[in-house]
Amino acid sequence: MFDVILNVQGDEPLVAVDALHGAVARVRSGDPIGTAAGDLDRSLAGDPNRVKVVVAAHGRAIYFSRAPIPFHRDNASDVRYHQHVGVYAYTPEALARWVRLAPVPEERWEQLEQLRPLLHGMPIGVALFPGPAAPGVDTADDLRTVATQLTRQLREVSP
């Protein structure tokens, strides 16, 4: 039996090692579920393909959304956006509980599976890492960008 299960979503081929270590560390420090988020430039906050997460001072998720959250009323200059990365770490018990939970309306509205355990009261620890999240694959443009980056990386390591 394993103490921690790590899941990297298939649309995150360039996921940062910091995100993986951070998600696992959140579980090892007591959260039943761990995930990660990087910085998101304000100009990209309106992109629904970039999932945002609001994180409380204790490092746990408050909410995930495709909308720009938090909302920067009056154009506040100190608003920070965090882009969620599709990586999850769980205790075996938390994963077993998650799959038994009934869907919640917010999960359907946002099309975000992590809202199910969160809104059923399961804490999700969020490891924040500096810098932007690596690009995921949500659109055809994303696929081209990631393919170019992977090709470049392959050329760098090939003799």
pLDDT at 146: 83
Residue 59's region, left for phi above 0, alpha for psi from -120 to 50, else beta, is left
CA 91 to chain centre: 17
The CATH topology of domain 5-134 is: Spore Coat Polysaccharide Biosynthesis Protein SpsA; Chain A (3.90.550)
> Per residue of the chain (159 residues), what is the pLDDT tens digit?
789 999 999 888 889 999 999 999 999 999 999 999 999 999 999 999 999 999 999 999 999 999 999 987 777 778 899 999 999 999 999 999 999 999 999 999 999 999 999 999 999 999 999 888 888 888 888 888 888 888 888 888 877
Q: Is the pTM of this model over 0.95?
A: no
Using DSSP, state whether 140 is helix, strand or coil: helix
pLDDT at 135: 81
The domain ranges of the chain are 5-134
pLDDT at 69: 94
